Amino acid sequence: MATISPPEDPESDPRVKAVFDDIRATRGTDFINNVWRYLAFDPALLEEVWRDVKAVLATPSLLDPKVKEMIYAAVSIANGCDYCTHSHLAAARARGMTAAEQAELMRIVGTAAKTNHILNAIRPPIDAAFLAEE
Amino acid sequence: MATISPPEDPESDPRVKAVFDDIRATRGTDFINNVWRYLAFDPALLEEVWRDVKAVLATPSLLDPKVKEMIYAAVSIANGCDYCTHSHLAAARARGMTAAEQAELMRIVGTAAKTNHILNAIRPPIDAAFLAEE
Amino acid sequence: MATISPPEDPESDPRVKAVFDDIRATRGTDFINNVWRYLAFDPALLEEVWRDVKAVLATPSLLDPKVKEMIYAAVSIANGCDYCTHSHLAAARARGMTAAEQAELMRIVGTAAKTNHILNAIRPPIDAAFLAEE
Amino acid sequence: MATISPPEDPESDPRVKAVFDDIRATRGTDFINNVWRYLAFDPALLEEVWRDVKAVLATPSLLDPKVKEMIYAAVSIANGCDYCTHSHLAAARARGMTAAEQAELMRIVGTAAKTNHILNAIRPPIDAAFLAEE
Amino acid sequence: MATISPPEDPESDPRVKAVFDDIRATRGTDFINNVWRYLAFDPALLEEVWRDVKAVLATPSLLDPKVKEMIYAAVSIANGCDYCTHSHLAAARARGMTAAEQAELMRIVGTAAKTNHILNAIRPPIDAAFLAEE
Amino acid sequence: MATISPPEDPESDPRVKAVFDDIRATRGTDFINNVWRYLAFDPALLEEVWRDVKAVLATPSLLDPKVKEMIYAAVSIANGCDYCTHSHLAAARARGMTAAEQAELMRIVGTAAKTNHILNAIRPPIDAAFLAEE
């Protein structure tokens, strides 16, 4: 399926091992999902993507962890990323999203897409009230 | 700018007036923003879009109103809808989103887009753990 | 606004003049809209794009000219192309699309986008009945 | 494959049964395709999506049923929805779209995408002639 | 998987055989990949797509063949085309793209997507210095 | 136009001043374009985006600086980012992209988009030859 091959023994590379160890410690689980095993084909890229995802999703911030995963999943759905949709919906469920909330997420995403397309068809001028005051 | 002309006196049509009245009552303001004034060119379409948006964003549900507007804005950003991005970021601010939360929203949306593209380039198999059990 | 400058006297280039003449003859009008004036910065690209658009939209085929412009506009809306949305909705109107049909087009495009996003969130297996028999 | 599990016995829920019965009656067939079986995980979402799709595609309107399915498929292709592309191309074929018309649809969608991208690269000003008169 | 069936004996059609012969001669290989076998369902569409791809990717031009495949792959990733992502990354590798260059491509594509989304959220005015002088 | 206001005196914040100084030093110019002035509303986001863009575009790597800007622009065009399209086409020109190369870039991007859409309509199986050997 994939366009690159994951290394057979990724943790023989100390940079990969360091990232995998941090993933396990941060998440409190031994499970390393496929995105990390495939990204290990280039340790620098692996380090960069993990740094980014950890900063956004695994670091305390203003927004609730469940909400952050739901926003992340919404963008992944809109961008048509199959893997990301599965992994971030699963992460949102792991952080407490119920089936009813998942249905509500789909309703918001679907309705947003509908009005996005209708307004991209109409192209009305933006109300002055919505512009940041400069 | 727009691809259709808004009617000059939209509320002379009783179907349009009924929608505008409901918008004013639901939101507690006299302000009717451009999307509704332009959609008034087709009263049935106006009724349908307002019904959808009201159901998702102006009806109590499981998710917080501010969070719903942030998810809606995230999808609008991903879909490149200029009008929707402005209107739903403004709505999120009106429901309490701070500038720091708006910056966090941009960080989540941007990082999601980055990993969406990288995983659409790699196309790794989806972990069994992420699939709904059937 | 644009990322390239249109040539000041485009028809001084005989390749550009030949394309512009064919546009005028094909459409039965002297009006050359901006896309062609800007594409004239590279006569080979101008020739290629006009060849493509003429073959699809200005050549008798199985589908009705109005329907072809509506499909073209629908894709342009989905791809977020501002110029194309305006020009192909205008072309559809010139071929007889009424305001009510334009509203119906928006309803189809918007509802498709809604279900596109919801099904990209669910990712159900494709029914065998929908696959081409091989 | 999917991110949610379809209920095992969906029609034991009377709301689901009512939707499935209406799908069967509207379409004159016993076949319930996967989208409805998966959406049954949330009866309210199922009702809403069926209401939308029925209104757009299974209700007599200004446009021909075959043309409506072709426009719906065009948007689904542009939005990268695998399931929707399959189901709406199949529906268009069921409403009479020939293989040659399907090829023409692909030519329109592909050419639109090409000019959408080229014009999103050039970003020419929109001709005054294309704007709705206000 | 596919929405159309490839013809069983495509080269029995002389138009298809001519295209396949040209693909083999141009590429110096007997391998005809699936896109051409499926497009053979409509010989005119097959001819058109091969003409386009040959002109862009198999004809000497200003840009390096490897670079052209990398740009082609980048667009395919952004547009979420699974088949195209696989085929054009494979073509880039066949023209010398190393694994490290593929990782760099992913970093560029991912970072571009991140800033694309953040700037589509902010919508800053375009600097006069970036506009083509007119 | 924008959804946030840029700070009036951004360099009064030492974190912003440090980024602006690094932009000026890295690029060898006093010109700070709008994206950085607007991102200054959140110094942490400004630091992050500059770190990302500097690493990808202003740091020696395997690919040529002009080629990197062309790939970046191609993704920005596909994602419909107006600001990014302008800024990265301008950057590519500043690194030596000629008008003829810009026309070739548009031809590649446009043709890729055309085949992306046609193959997302056909959805052929991916040839085994294109899959990474595992």
Chain D interface test: which of C42, C57, C84 (most D C-beta within 10 Å): C84
| pLDDT of C98 strictly over 90 | yes
Structural domain contains residue E119: yes
Between CA D55 and CA B45 the distance in angstroms is 12
What's the domain range around D51?
A: 9-59
pLDDT at F115: 98
Q: How high is the mean pLDDT of chain D?
A: 96
8 A C-beta contact, residue F88 and residue F73: yes
Q: Which CATH number does the domain housing residue A41 bear?
A: 1.20.1290.10
Binning pLDDT at 50, 70 and 90, where does residue B132 land?
Answer: confident
Same structural domain for residues B68 and B115?
yes
Q: How far, in Å, are C40, C43, F24, F107 from residue C49 at the CA level? A: 11, 10, 40, 9
Per-residue DSSP letters for F9-49?
A: SGGGSHHHHHHHHHHHHHHTSS---HHHHHHTTSHHHHHHH
Q: How far apart are CA D120 and CA F79, in angstroms?
A: 9
Report if residue A133 sits inside a domain. no
CA distance C82 to chain F (A): 10
Q: Are residues C41 and C55 in the same domain?
A: yes
Same domain, C70 and C95: yes
Give the nearest partner residue to C5 out of E1, E3, E133, using CB atoms. E133
In this structure, is residue A132 part of a structural domain? Answer: no
Looking at chain B, the whole-number percentage of residues with pLDDT higher than 90 is: 96
Helix or strand (DSSP H, E) at A56 = helix A43-57
The reported pLDDT for the residue numbered E9 is 97
Mutate to test the interface with A, among D1, D3, D81, D83 (most CBs of A within 10 A): D3
Average pLDDT of the residues in B122-131:
93
| E107 interface with A at CB cutoff 8 Å | yes
Residues A69 and A37 in one domain: no
The whole-angstrom separation of Cα B42 and Cα C60 is 32
Same domain, A107 and A66: yes
If asked whether residues C25 and C39 sit together in one domain, one would say yes
Contact A80/D79, CB-based, under 8 Å?
Answer: yes
What ipTM describes this predicted complex?
Answer: 0.96
Nearest to E3 among D80, D85, D107 (CB): D85
Query: For residue A99, which residues of chain B lie inside 8 Å, CB to CB?
Result: none
Q: Decide if F59 touches E, using CB distance below 8 A.
A: no
SS3 labels along C73-86: HHHHHHCCCHHHHH
Token duo for residue F125? 């199986």
The reply to whether C43 and C85 lie within a common domain is no
Contacts of range E5-11, beta carbons closer than 8 Å, 24 or more positions apart? E5/C132, E5/C133, E5/C134, E5/E41, E6/C134, E6/E34, E6/E37, E6/E38, E6/E40, E6/E41, E6/F124, E7/E40, E7/E41, E10/E37, E10/E40
Instruction: Measure CA B110 to chain center.
Output: 18
List the single residue in C102, C107, C110 with the smallest CB-CB distance to B4.
Answer: C102
Question: Is C102 in CB contact (< 8 Å) with chain B?
Answer: yes
Query: Which of B1, B131, B134 has its CB closest to that of D131?
Result: B1
pLDDT band at D22 (very low <50, low <70, confident <90, very high): very high
Sign, CA torsion C116/C118/C121/C127:
negative
Q: Clarify whether residues A74 and A27 are in a common domain.
A: no
* Cβ(D76)–Cβ(D106) below 8 Å: no
Query: Cα separation of B50 and E35, whole Å?
Result: 43
Averaged pLDDT, A87-96 = 97
For residue range C38-47, what is the model confidence (pLDDT) as tens digits? 999 999 999 9
Same domain, E119 and E67: yes
B134 confidence band (pLDDT: 50, 70, 90): very low
**Alpha-carbon gap, residue A111 to B34, rounded angstroms:** 18
For residue D33, the 8-state DSSP code is -
DSSP state of B129: G
> pLDDT digit of tens for each residue in chain E (134 aa)?
799 999 999 999 999 999 999 999 999 999 999 999 999 999 999 999 999 999 999 999 999 999 999 999 999 999 999 999 999 999 999 999 999 999 999 999 999 999 999 999 999 999 999 987 54
Residue type, F21: D
Confidence band for A134, pLDDT divided at 50, 70 and 90: very low
- Report yes or no: A112 and D50 within 8 Å, Cβ to Cβ: no
| pLDDT band for position F1 (cuts 50, 70, 90) | confident
Handedness of CA A95, A97, A98, A99 (dihedral sign): negative
- Asked if the C-beta of A133 comes within 8 angstroms of chain F's C-beta atoms, the answer is yes
Shared domain check, F118 and F76 = yes
Tell me if B1 is assigned to some domain. no
Alpha carbons E54 and A64: distance in angstroms, whole number? 51
Mutation target to probe the E interface, by most E beta carbons within 10 A, among D88, D101, D102, D120 is D102
Residues in D closer than 8 angstroms to B39, CB to CB, are none
Q: Are E109 and B117 in contact (CB under 8 A)?
A: yes
Q: Are A6 and F134 in contact (CB under 8 A)?
A: yes
> What mean pLDDT do residues A51-65 have?
97
- What is the pTM for the complete model shown? 0.97
Q: Give the pLDDT of residue B133.
A: 57
Asked whether residue F133 is domain-assigned, the answer is no
Domain annotation covers residue F93: yes
pLDDT digits (tens, 9 = 90+) for B12-53: 999 999 999 999 999 999 999 999 999 999 999 999 999 999
pLDDT classification of C14: cutoffs 50, 70, 90: very high
Cβ pair C93, C66 in contact under 8 A: no
F107 with C4: Cβ contact below 8 A: no
**Per residue in C63-74, pLDDT tens?**
999 999 999 999
- Indicate whether F84 and F108 sit together in one domain: yes
Say how far apart CA A127 and CA B83 lie, in whole Å.
9
pLDDT digits (tens, 9 = 90+) for F71-108: 999 999 999 999 999 999 999 999 999 999 999 999 99
User: Would you call A45 and E100 a contact, using CB atoms and an 8 Å cutoff?
Assistant: no
Question: Per-residue b/e over D106-122, b at no fewer than 16 CB within 10 Å?
Answer: bbbbbbbbbbbbbbbbb
What angle do helix axes C99-122 and A99-122 make, rounded to 10 degrees?
A: 150
At residue C127 the predicted structure's pLDDT band, cuts being 50, 70 and 90, is very high
Specify the number of domains making up chain C.
2
The confidence band for B1, taking pLDDT boundaries of 50, 70 and 90, is confident
In a domain, E37, yes or no: yes
Q: Is residue C134 predicted with pLDDT exceeding 50?
A: no
What pLDDT does residue D96 have? 97
The answer to whether B58 touches B27, Cβ cutoff 8 Å, is yes
Angle at A127 between CA A122 and CA A128, to 5 degrees: 150
* Contact with chain C for residue E131, Cβ under 8 A: yes
**Residue A23 C-alpha, separation from nearest chain E C-alpha, in angstroms:** 21
Which pLDDT band holds residue A132 (cuts at 50, 70, 90)? confident
Touching check for F81 and chain B: CB below 8 Å? yes
Q: D123 to chain C: which residues are within 8 Å by CB?
A: 1-3, 83
Question: For chain B, where are the alpha helices, taking DSSP H only?
Answer: 14-27, 34-39, 43-57, 65-78, 82-94, 99-122
Across the range A95-117, mean pLDDT stands at 98
Residue of A nearest to E73 (CA): A3
Q: Which of B119-133, D65-79, F50-64 has the lowest mean pLDDT?
A: B119-133
Average pLDDT of B84-89? Answer: 98
Q: Tell whether E2 is covered by a domain.
A: no
My answer on whether C69 and C49 are in the same domain is no
Kindly report the backbone phi and psi dihedral angles of residue E27, in degrees, each rounded to the nearest multiple of 5, phi listed first: -95, -15
Nearest to A74 by CA among A89, A52, A57: A89
